Amino acid sequence: MTASLLEQLIEALKVLPGVGQKSAQRMAYHLLEREREGGRRLAEALEAAMERVGHCVQCRDFTEGDLCAICASASRDRQLMCVVESPADRLVIEQATGFRGVYFVLQGRLSPLDGIGPAELGLDRLSARLAEGEVAELIIATNPTVEGEATAHYLAQLARQHGVRPSRLAHGVPLGGELEYVDRGTLQHAFGSRSEMTL
């Protein structure tokens, strides 16, 4: 028996992260009861994005053309490259820092159990870019998870093979945080990666 259109809509909404059966039902009912016009705009935007948004040929970020705006910009410092796991991570760094270099977006992290290796992350493309000799420092901004740390280690080795200096984002005690409330793992990492204070 074929599912009804309402059931198909609910099932389709469940593909979004963090959306289960109840949340999908609420969204579907909201769209049908109060936001039919918004639902139509959402459908059009989704269809257009699925058709026309691809990956930048240089950094693998999302873009509608061959190059994203950052890679196409002549004002970026191409000696500095920041490697991130996702386009969302790239956006956060871009908005929160004064970073004016370029990026490489892995679209994931090394996870052999999930079948994600160097090829799936485009590391052959990253290796080719590092081999060109333009990048002087590779800033590794992967997340501080087991897979993120393994990916960072792999990236540091790759950078060194090409004579590029690898650096890692600092992780540790948050600004304004109090030591007694910081979790043990974070405090251990912060203590182990302490650096000399310069005056």
CATH number of domain containing 147: 3.40.1360.10
In a domain, 2, yes or no: no
CA distances from 63 to 52, 69, 72, 165 (A): 8, 8, 11, 28
Answer whether residue 190 is part of any domain: no
Instruction: Supply the mean pLDDT for the chain.
Output: 91
Note the pLDDT tens digit of each residue in 7-45: 999 999 999 999 999 999 999 999 999 999 999 999 999
Listed residue (115, 39, 101, 26) closest to 70, CA to CA: 101
Model pTM? Answer: 0.83
174: in domain: no
The helix/strand/coil state of 139 is: strand
Contacts of 173 (CB under 8 A, 6+ apart): 179, 182, 186, 187, 190
Question: Residue 32, Cβ neighbours under 10 Å: how many?
Answer: 13
Domain for residue 177, yes or no? Answer: no
Residue 170 has a CB neighbour count (10 Å cut-off) of 11
Kindly state whether residue 79 falls inside one of the protein's structural domains. Answer: yes
For residue range 140-169, what is the model confidence (pLDDT) as tens digits?
Answer: 999 988 899 999 999 999 999 999 999 998
Longest dimension (CA), the chain: 73
- DSSP string for residues in 32-59: HHH-HHHHHHHHHHHHHHHHH-EE-TTT
pLDDT value for 184: 80
| 165, β-bridge pairs | 137
* Backbone dihedral angles phi then psi of residue 77, each to the nearest 5 degrees: -85, 105
Lowest mean pLDDT among 36-45, 168-177, 189-198: 189-198
Is residue 58 within 8 A of residue 105, CB to CB? The reply is no
Examine the pLDDT at 199 and tell me if it is beyond 70. Answer: no
User: What would the mean pLDDT of 78-85 be, rounded to a whole number?
Assistant: 96
**CA proximity to 79, closest of 100, 93, 53:** 100
105/194 Cα distance (integer angstroms): 28
Residue 118 located in a structural domain: yes
The answer to whether residue 133 sits within a structural domain is: yes
Residue 194 lies in a domain: no
The structural domain count of the chain equals 1
In the chain, the percentage of residues whose pLDDT exceeds 70 is 96
Check whether 173 has a pLDDT greater than 90: no
Summarize the confidence of residues 180-195 as an average pLDDT: 76
Q: Give the other-Cβ count within 10 Å of 81's Cβ.
A: 24
Which residues span the domain enclosing 156? 66-168
